[in-house]
Chain A
Amino acid sequence: MNSLHRVLEVLEGGMLSLVEDGGRQHVAHLGLTQGGVMDRHAWAWGNRLLGNHWGEAAIEITIGGFKGCFSQATQIALTGADLNARLNGQPVATWETLTIKAGDLLETGYAAQGLRGYLCVRGGWKTPVGLGNSRSAIVREQLGGQDGLGSPLKAGDQLSYACTRDTDQGRPCSVPAAFRPDYQAPLILDFCDNPASPLPEQLIETLLAQRWTLSSRSNRMAALLDGQPLQVERYPLVSSGVAAGTVQLPPSGQPIILLNERQSIGGYPQPGFVTLRSLDRLAQGRPGEVIQFRRLSLAEAQQQERAFLSFFQRQDQAPIRAI
């Protein structure tokens, strides 16, 4: 039995490629952000296809331009935005398992629809685990990721993957069509009211009735929306902790939706919040795309989120359709 050195050698990092997992826990009180994959739907399916446990790290490739070489055989899956990837020059499918041989070259093109693709590997990427029991890279905080400094992947980086026997390939699997999102469908975000919001009801109605566009200034901290500005009074609010999905209305009247890398506390008035399932879809939204809100009750939103978590976190994962 020879000890195999299993690494993906990065040849090109692309626009923004990051090692991400489910994000950190129990660190917000230290001023640290949460981080983690922006689209949990695509990430969770990638891991599920490969028989990985919930929470294994993936490479989140934004837009594309990523290139890497596998040192040893394994199995991978590409989910989320179709980055027009090629394996040794041959186009490969997304949302299904791909067999990798030693020396295989994976190269992505660029997303025509959606924004972020996920590269999962059998057993997960074994980069260092940092604060909050997470491997997630946080560029702004200079923490996490393959170098512990939050750096995006770049040429020369080597990412270890789990040691499985060559014979232990896993059977080919594919995500049923019903679970593959259509990134060209209208982007509609489920919104829950915060009953304690200081904002007048009329203002919230306008927020929900209006069409917004996703600003190109959006990033992993926040989605900024452009549109007819809302008339927001100044509220002398004391900053408080803010959760993912929080909608904030700054004095500019242009809504902000807080995402995984939000600052841990914030002080703008909040009409309510967007569901985490909607954030998964928003992660694939492209600048200029139209965004609309629709109301959902908290009970329904919680049920929806719980259904998602229990589907992917069941110990005995139901078999999925073999190709």
Chain B
Amino acid sequence: MHWSAEPAGVNAILLRFGERMDPALSACIHQLGQRLRACLGDSLLNITPAYTTLLLEYDLRLEDYDSLLARLTPLLNHQPESAPETRSEVIHIPVFYDPHTTGPDLTALAERCQCSVEQLIHLHSSREYRVYALGFAPGFAYMGELDSRLISARRETPRSRVPAGSVAIADNQTAIYPIESPGGWHLLGRTPMKLFNVDADPPALLQPGQAVRFHAVDRDTYLSLGGTL
């Protein structure tokens, strides 16, 4: 994996591995992050994997930029030839897609995509997604890629309150809001699943590289699984 490094903060180094979003690259970067954590131990305070990058925040009492880069270079130049098998269990997410309650953007979006609400739900729930990165909020997983017919820019005006569990799309990605928060993505439905649980290990249900599928469920199933309206 080709790489480059740059200073991204007084105690931060950003490693770049490419320019294009690619689920396989995200999975490799996630695994590399775990490897670096094991190799560099106490020197690292935080590792943030994203689509094409790894941000390392380090303890300046133990390392400076040059010393850390010197330690990273052999580790990055001698990566395992092929990425370890990333085949993980697919996580199935039940979603109640409903234009009247959980999916307030379904109707407008279907119009824009020139399809019916049913087709739109089918397009969203009929493919497997991969988690690229976590960010924005605890356990918020950016997943891709959407069917090209569903690609649409974010809402002009973000909502100040998006309910927890909301399943949403924007650009060529989909995500689930783990907690109630502001948000500018288009809301299609809601899942009763808990995406972030402080007491679980790890607390985030989804990890980069994880395979995910959405399944449409009816109102009764949604409610019986603990969903709220």
Chain A 101-142 near chain B by CB (<8 Å), digits 1 or 0: 000000000000000000000000000001100000000111
A17 at the interface (CB under 8 A from B): no
Across the interface, A302 reaches (CB within 8 A) one of B14, B20, B60, B178, namely B60
Q: Mark A267-281, 1 if CB is under 8 A from B, else 0.
A: 000100101100000
Question: CB distance B10 to A276 under 8 Å?
Answer: yes
Cβ-defined contact, A270 with B8, below 8 A? yes
Contacts of A131 in B (CB 8 A): 198, 203
A141-B137, A192-B7, A298-B7 given; A241·B198 CB < 8 A: no
B135–A263 touching, CB < 8 Å:
yes
Partner of B19, one of A141, A238, A243, A313: A238
Report whether A265 and B61 are in contact in the complex, using a CB–CB cutoff of 8 Å. Answer: no
Chain B residues with Cβ under 8 A from A163's Cβ?
none
Decide yes or no: A243 and B136 within 8 Å by CB, A25-B45, A238-B21, A302-B64 being known contacts: no
The answer to whether A264 touches B6, judged by C-beta atoms less than 8 angstroms apart, is no
> A241 near B45 (CB under 8 angstroms)?
no
* Chain A residues, Cβ within 8 Å of B20: 238
Say yes or no: B6 contacts A309, CB within 8 Å.
Answer: no
The interface stretch among B49-57, B118-126, B186-194, B212-220 is B49-57
In contact, B10 and A238 (Cβ under 8 angstroms): no
Across the interface, which residues of B come within 8 angstroms of A143, CB to CB? 138, 198
Indicate if the CB atoms of A244 and B9 lie closer than 8 Å.
yes
Chain A residues with Cβ below 8 Å from B4 are 196
- Decide yes or no whether B146 CB sits under 8 A from chain A: no
Distance between Cα atoms of A143 and B197 in the complex (Å):
11
Contact A240 B53 (CB under 8 A): yes
Of the residues B7, B10, B16, contact of A195 by C-beta under 8 Å:
B7
Contact string, B31-63, partner A, CB cutoff 8 A, digits 1/0?
Answer: 001000000000001111111111101001100
Residue of A nearest to B19 (CB): A238
Binding-face segment, A27-35, A37-45, A60-68, A212-220: A27-35
Which of A31, A34, A143, A194 is packed against the most chain B CB atoms within 10 Å?
A31
B12 nearest in chain A by CB position? A243
Q: Does B181 contact A (CB under 8 A)?
A: yes
Question: In this complex, what residue of A is CB-closest to B180?
Answer: A142
Q: Quote the shortest CB–CB distance from A299 to chain B (angstroms).
A: 8
Q: Are B11 and A29 touching (Cβ within 8 A)?
A: no
Return the chain A residue nearest B134 by Cβ. Answer: A31
Complex CA distance for A30 and B137, rounded to whole angstroms: 9
Task: Report the separation of the CA atoms of residues A130 and B138 in the bound assembly, to the nearest whole angstrom.
Answer: 13
Q: Decide if A240 touches B51 in the complex (CB within 8 Å).
A: yes
A228 interface contact, C-beta 8 A: no
Given contacts A302-B60, A302-B65, A313-B61, contact A196 B139 (CB under 8 A): no
Checking A29, A34, A242, A301 against B47 with a beta-carbon cut-off of 8 angstroms, the contacting residue is: A29
**A245: CB under 8 A from chain B?**
yes
Q: Which residues of B contact A240 (CB under 8 A)?
A: 14, 16, 48, 50-53, 55
The answer to whether residues A243 and B11 also contact, given A30-B203, A194-B6, A195-B6 and a CB cut-off of 8 A, is yes
Verify A242–B45 contact, CB threshold 8 A: no
Which residues of chain B have C-beta atoms less than 8 A from A299's C-beta? Answer: 64-65
Q: Given the complex, which residues of A lie within 8 Å of B10, measured CB to CB?
A: 192, 243, 245, 273, 275-276, 298, 301-302, 305
Whether the Cβ atoms of A31 and B6 lie closer than 8 Å is: no
Q: Which residues of B contact A27 (CB under 8 A)?
A: 46
Is the pair A31, B140 in contact by a Cβ cutoff of 8 Å? yes
When distances are taken between beta carbons in the complex, the residues of chain A under 8 Å from B24 are none
Chain A, residues 283-312, CB within 8 Å of chain B (1/0): the string is 000000000000000110110011001100
Chain A positions 227 through 248: 1 when the CB is less than 8 Å from some CB of chain B, otherwise 0 = 0000000000011111111100
B48, B57, B141: most-surrounded residue (chain A CB, <10 A): B48
Instruction: Determine if A26 is an interface residue (Cβ-Cβ < 8 Å).
Output: yes
Shortest Cβ gap from B2 to chain A (Å): 14
Most chain A C-beta atoms within 10 Å of own C-beta, residue among B9, B60, B203? B9
7 A-B residue pairs with CB within 8 Å: A26-B47, A30-B203, A131-B198, A148-B198, A195-B6, A264-B48, A264-B134
8 A-B pairs with the lowest CB-CB distances in the bound complex, closest first: A241-B55, A243-B9, A241-B48, A243-B12, A265-B135, A196-B6, A31-B134, A240-B53
